[in-house]
Amino acid sequence: MLANNKESTVGIAISGLSDAPNLEPGNWTKEEYTEAILCFTDVNYLEFKTDAKVSDYPTLLVHITGKNSVGIEFEAYYYSIYLPVDDGDPKWQNIVIAFNNNVDNSVKSNIEKIKNSLKVVLE
């Protein structure tokens, strides 16, 4: 919603598990990530950490700012969490937290608490 709707102030998305062959965090470059994952081309990378962790799982953390398709300034955190599996290729799950930088909202106000609360629970 943040990408397309001028009225949106926050977007949070959690993907399902996907196969992640050869996609370990250290294999990415900013250029490859922008082309393959981001739906925005005019972005400023604030962080690109290939050694991040969520619940002790290897994680690619990408923190960006940019403008959406209607010119709204946003900030976003992308977490690509790599999970082991017993048989087959590893899996990954993506969490995206994005918010409008020009509007006060609870996600923007509490982003550190939100980031610190992320956990992976495998059943």
| pLDDT at site 122 | 72
For 10-117, the fitting CATH number among 3.40.1000.10, 3.40.190.10, 3.40.50.300, 3.40.50.920 is 3.40.1000.10
Residues in contact with 16: Cβ distance below 8 Å, sequence separation at least 6, in sequence order: 93
pTM of the prediction?
0.84
What string of pLDDT tens digits covers the 123 residues of the chain?
Answer: 344 445 567 888 888 888 876 677 888 889 888 888 887 768 899 999 999 999 999 999 999 999 877 788 899 999 999 987 777 677 889 999 999 888 887 888 888 888 988 888 776
Q: Are 62 and 33 in contact (CB under 8 A)?
A: yes
Residues 57 and 69: their CA atoms lie apart, in Å, by 33
Strands (E), the chain: 10-14, 18-19, 43-54, 57-67, 73-83, 91-100
